[in-house]
Amino acid sequence: MENATERTRSKAEVSAAIAAERRELADLFDSLRADEWNEPSLCTGWRVREVAAHMSMGFRLSLPATLAELAKARGNLHRMTDQVARSTGGRPTGFDKTLYKRRNEVERTINALKGFRAVATRFDKRAYIFHGTVTIAAIRLWLRS
C-alpha cells in the first residue's frame, strides 16, 4: 500500500515539475525581442524560432497530429521534427489565429465571387453597375450555402 502512495506522490511531483518547466520556457519565449527570434541558434540550420517550435512541440501537437506528421515524414523521426519545427517556427511572433481565420474566409469568398464570369472579367463600365453585379453574385452564393 505504501508503494502505491509513493508512486502517486511521485507522479504528482513530476507533473508539477513539468508544469513549472513549461511556465519557465513560456516566460523565456515571452522575454525575447522580435529580432532575437531570427538569430541563428547552435542547432545547425535552425533559428531561435525553430528551436522554440521544436521545444514546445511535445505539448502543442496531439498524438494523432504527431502520428500524421510522422507518416508524412515516412517514419523518420528526425525528418518529422525538422519539418514541424520549420513549418510552425516560421510564423511571425505576432501571429493571431482568429485574424488569420477571418482573412482566409474573406479570400475564399472573393475567390468564390470570381467564379461568376461577370465579376471575374468586369465587363461593367460603371462602378455602381459592377457593385450590383457583385451583390447579385454574393446573394446567389449565400442562397447556395
Residue 74 sits in the same domain as residue 121? no
Residue 13 sits in the same domain as residue 47? yes
Distances (CA, A) of 9 to 16, 23, 26: 11, 21, 26
Residue 81 sits in the same domain as residue 18? yes
Residues 6+ apart with CB under 8 A from 86: 46, 50, 53
Per-residue pLDDT of the chain (145 residues; tens, 9 = 90+): 556 566 666 778 888 888 888 888 888 888 888 888 888 888 888 888 888 888 878 777 888 888 888 898 888 888 888 888 888 775 555 667 788 788 888 888 888 888 888 888 888 888 888 899 889 999 998 998 8
Residue 48 sits in the same domain as residue 118? no
Residue 76 sits in the same domain as residue 110? no
Q: Please give the distance of CA 45 from its chain centroid, rounded to a whole number.
A: 21
Residue 6 sits in the same domain as residue 62? yes
Residue 35 sits in the same domain as residue 73? yes
Residue 126 sits in the same domain as residue 83? no
Cβ neighbours of 51 (radius 10 Å): 18
Residue 19 sits in the same domain as residue 80? yes
Q: Tell me how many domains the chain contains.
A: 2
Residue 85 sits in the same domain as residue 104? no
Residues spanned by the domain of 24: 2-89
Residue 11 sits in the same domain as residue 57? yes
CA separation for the pair 54, 50 (Å, rounded):
6
Residue 83 sits in the same domain as residue 30? yes
Radius of gyration of the chain (CA): 25
Residue 75: its pLDDT value, please? 86
Residue 143: its pLDDT value, please? 92
Residue 3: its pLDDT value, please? 64
Residue 92: its pLDDT value, please? 57
Which of 89, 106, 133 is the last residue in one of the domains? 89
